Amino acid sequence: RLIIEQDLHASLDGLFRWFDPVPVAAASIAQVHRAVLPDGREAMVKVQRPNIDKIIERDISILRGIAELMETHVRELHPYNVPGIVDEFARTINRELDFFIEGSNAQRLKKNFETSDELLIPEIYGELSSRRVLVMERIEGIRIDDVDEIARRGHDRKEITRKGAAAYFKIVFQDGLFHADPHPGNIFVLADGRIGLVDFGIMGRVTEENMEYFANVLL
């Protein structure tokens, strides 16, 4: 509550018609709450944990120290460039801490699929978002790994698979902007048969050169 009110410069009651204080999802950096906007739109509110940036900074410092020790004393690990792995992790997770970047990623991906009948990207409510708070359209669905419930709701699992593959082929071979955290908690089957994607904190890009390499591999 404190982070939302500090970042958005208003009381929680003024920002939302209804806000569920119990998170529906939680991870290391943030947790997600259901809410209803004053105009009646249903939303999900992703809010960072208090002081998570300082905790991550401390942990990365510890990792760097361990990596330097390994680089000095464990010759067998030299080919793997352990300090470089820590640096790459630090770059990625620090980008995750900026929800403006995540919101921008989601908006770009949504634009790429605005006419798609395969993939739905939630709308980002930028006027209600900040570096530590991200408010987006609520999408409801079945987790992609709950195959029994998907079948029980009458969805064709082969068709769901085709849609997922088609969406990822478009992402990798046409748009070059891909969702880099596709675990089952981020992918849902919606009531209309489309696939819903959430959590855009880790995204990647594919160069045209790599698109060609990947296509040649498939061929």
Q: Which residues are designated catalytic?
A: 181
Distance CA 168, CA 166 (A): 5
Q: Is the Cβ–Cβ distance between 119 and 197 less than 8 Å?
A: yes
> Residues 6 or more apart from 59 whose CB is under 8 A from it?
none
Strands 119-120 and 30-36 turn out to be unpaired
Q: Determine the 3-state secondary structure of 193 from DSSP.
A: coil
Q: Smallest Cα–Cα separation from 121: which of 62, 44, 55?
A: 44
Report the relative pairing of strands 195-197 and 119-120 from DSSP bridges: parallel
